[in-house]
């Protein structure tokens, strides 16, 4: 089936038009939408009208929704559905307002099996600011010199809940939340997306602790070099939210970051989709 699509940037993002996410897709449409998503790493649907339950049902078509680790961010009685809100507070720590996700990251990489996808559904969107940026870790890998790609492929790294190199503090967690995801997961530095066969650089500015088998200084310098590569503007797409937008991203191929440069209310529903162990 031919979808009506528009590419959103050179390396990341596709908008699929004229689909209604409130109803289940037929098999052919789902196959085409799923392929558009994994081929472009970020899928955008605009002007959608869904109840929270319909959003969960939409998400389920891409895989099994997983429970958000930070329990206070789950929608009551619906642990598969979480939210991001301008009212978010570090409730187990300082109690202060926080804007989550403001540096390049891929979701839950401190888990042994991180989610393959995350999706947001925009409800209250500020007039200005609050964009979400995405950058292609696959295009950044492709752009490395051959010799460096060969050197990095096969290396492994440790992802902590809060890396000692993190540019921002993570929220505090309860003992139960820590027990569920203790962190220090070991992952390949270069991972292959099983849906596309494409390789990408699997790092996270807030979680990557160190690259194994390298002295600390060299490991830190290499991580910084990879962050600089991935953060290049040419690999990015910046999503300017409108109410009714659904944005689904592939955590195996892109990094993303939020922007706290807004005033007023911002509220989005959030679902993460189960993945498999990075390879």
Catalytic positions, written as ranges: 105, 107, 256, 270
- Residue 115 CB, shortest distance to ligand SIN, in Å, is 11
Pick 24 or 101: Cβ nearer ligand SIN: 101
Q: Which of 63, 101, 194, 244 binds ligand SIN (CB under 6 A)?
A: 101
Which residue sits closest to ligand SIN, CB atoms considered? Answer: 101
Pick 166 or 219: Cβ nearer ligand SIN: 166
Other CB atoms within a 10 A radius of the CB of residue 90 amount to 15
- Residue 132 CB, shortest distance to ligand SIN, in Å, is 4
- Residue 84 CB, shortest distance to ligand SIN, in Å, is 5
| Separation of alpha carbons 241 and 269, rounded Å | 13
Closest to 221 (Cα-Cα) out of 231, 211, 230: 211
User: Which conformational region is residue 157 in: left (phi greater than 0), alpha (psi within -120 to 50 degrees), or beta?
Assistant: beta
Closest to 82 (Cα-Cα) out of 55, 44, 48: 55
| Separation of alpha carbons 115 and 117, rounded Å | 5
| Separation of alpha carbons 172 and 160, rounded Å | 14
- Site residues for ligand SIN, 244-263, by CB under 6 A, read 256, 258
Q: Which of 9, 69, 132, 135 binds ligand SIN (CB under 6 A)?
A: 132
Asked whether position 100 contacts ligand SIN by CB under 6 A, the answer is: yes
Closest to 50 (Cα-Cα) out of 240, 265, 268, 244: 244
- Residue 147 CB, shortest distance to ligand SIN, in Å, is 33
Asked whether position 84 contacts ligand SIN by CB under 6 A, the answer is: yes
- How many Cα neighbours within 13 Å face the side chain of 123? 15
Pick 219 or 251: Cβ nearer ligand SIN: 251
The residues binding ligand SIN (CB under 6 A) are 84, 100-101, 132, 256, 258
């Amino acid at each position: 089936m031919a979808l009506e699509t528009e590419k959103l940037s050179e390396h990341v993002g596709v908008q699929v038009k004229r689909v209604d996410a409130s109803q289940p897709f037929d098999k052919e449409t789902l196959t085409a939408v799923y392929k558009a998503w994994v081929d472009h790493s970020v899928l955008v649907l605009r002007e959608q009208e869904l109840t929270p339950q319909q959003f969960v049902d939409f998400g389920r078509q891409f895989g099994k929704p997983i429970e958000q680790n930070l329990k206070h961010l789950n929608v009551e009685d619906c642990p598969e559905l979480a939210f991001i809100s301008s009212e978010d507070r570090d409730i187990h720590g300082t109690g202060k307002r926080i804007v989550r996700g403001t540096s390049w990251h891929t979701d839950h990489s401190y888990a042994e099996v991180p989610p393959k996808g995350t999706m947001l559904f925009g409800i209250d969107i500020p007039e200005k600011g609050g964009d979400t940026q995405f950058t292609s870790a696959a295009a950044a890998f492709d752009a490395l010199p051959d010799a460096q790609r060969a050197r990095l492929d096969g290396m492994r790294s440790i992802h902590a809940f809060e890396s000692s190199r993190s540019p921002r503090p993570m929220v505090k967690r309860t003992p139960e939340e820590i027990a569920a995801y203790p962190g220090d997961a070991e992952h390949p530095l270069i991972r292959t997306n099983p849906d596309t066969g494409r390789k990408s650089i699997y790092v996270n500015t807030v979680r990557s602790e160190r690259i194994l088998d390298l002295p600390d200084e060299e490991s830190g310098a290499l991580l910084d070099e990879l962050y600089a590569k991935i953060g290049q503007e040419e690999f990015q797409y910046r999503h300017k939210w409108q109410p009714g937008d659904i944005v689904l991203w592939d955590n195996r191929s892109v990094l993303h970051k939020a922007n706290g440069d807004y005033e007023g209310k911002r509220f989005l529903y959030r679902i993460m989709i189960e993945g498999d162990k990075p390879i």
